């Protein structure tokens, strides 16, 4: 792994653990095992490095979501697979954590990929819901964008509930509740 890659991965981890303010250039260099010269050779400063780390995180989240939302199965099964996919619940979402970071929120350059990723995710979930409606699996009266926002909100809120409780059960309880609301109704002749 080259120095640039070490710096990006280290910054991702530190942003997740400490947030932007708590992530100093020195901490990044120490975690990456590289010197200051190497850091500034690859990046103009902490903000540029943070942007690269946030964009990498965005790519990873998109890949994670695509794997389940565009995979095999019915619309319900794909949403279920996405919500129940193995994840470190108590660590929360790397990007979700940054939505409450005041330095990220006020920096348009750093906030943009966070916002765009959540918007992308809601669009992908909306597409799956539309498929489920078209297939007769979901209620045709279902408000697609509102439901996609609720699914994303359950995911992020579940992380918060789990962290507050110190265990992952509140996350899974929230997810199971959402899935119960989405569960396709059995038709009388089935």
pLDDT tens-digit readout, 89-143:
998 888 998 998 999 999 999 999 999 999 999 999 999 999 999 999 999 999 9
pTM of the full structure? 0.89
8 A C-beta contact, residue 86 and residue 145: no
8 A C-beta contact, residue 48 and residue 156: no
C-alpha–C-alpha distance, residues 16 and 93, integer Å: 8
Question: With 80 as the cut, is the pLDDT of residue 58 above it?
Answer: yes
Q: Which CATH superfamily is domain 54-182 in?
A: Tetracycline Repressor, domain 2 (1.10.357.10)
Q: At 1, is the pLDDT very low, low, confident or very high (cuts 50, 70, 90)?
A: confident
In eight-state DSSP terms, residue 188 is: T
8 A C-beta contact, residue 19 and residue 97: yes
Q: Is 190 exposed, middle or buried (0-12, 13-18, 19+ CB in 10 A)?
A: exposed
8 A C-beta contact, residue 39 and residue 7: yes
C-alpha–C-alpha distance, residues 139 and 129, integer Å: 10
């Amino acid at each position: 792994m080259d120095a640039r890659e070490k710096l990006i991965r280290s910054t991702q981890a530190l942003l997740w653990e400490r947030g932007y303010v708590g992530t100093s250039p020195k901490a990044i260099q120490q975690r990456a095992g590289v010197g200051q010269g190497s850091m500034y050779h690859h990046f103009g400063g902490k903000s540029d490095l943070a942007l690269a780390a946030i964009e990498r995180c965005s790519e990873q989240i998109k890949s994670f979501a695509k794997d389940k939302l565009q995979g095999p199965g019915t619309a319900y099964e794909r949403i279920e697979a996405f919500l129940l996919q193995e994840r470190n619940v108590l660590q929360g979402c790397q990007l979700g954590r940054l939505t409450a970071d005041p330095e990220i929120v006020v920096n348009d350059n750093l906030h943009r990929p966070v916002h765009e990723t959540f918007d992308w995710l809601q669009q992908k979930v909306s597409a799956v819901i539309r498929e489920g409606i078209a297939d007769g699996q979901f209620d045709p009266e279902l408000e697609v964008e509102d439901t996609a926002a609720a699914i994303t909100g359950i995911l992020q809120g579940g992380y918060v509930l789990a962290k507050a409780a110190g265990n992952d059960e509140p996350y899974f309880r929230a997810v199971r509740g959402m899935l119960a609301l989405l569960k396709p109704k059995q038709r009388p002749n089935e």
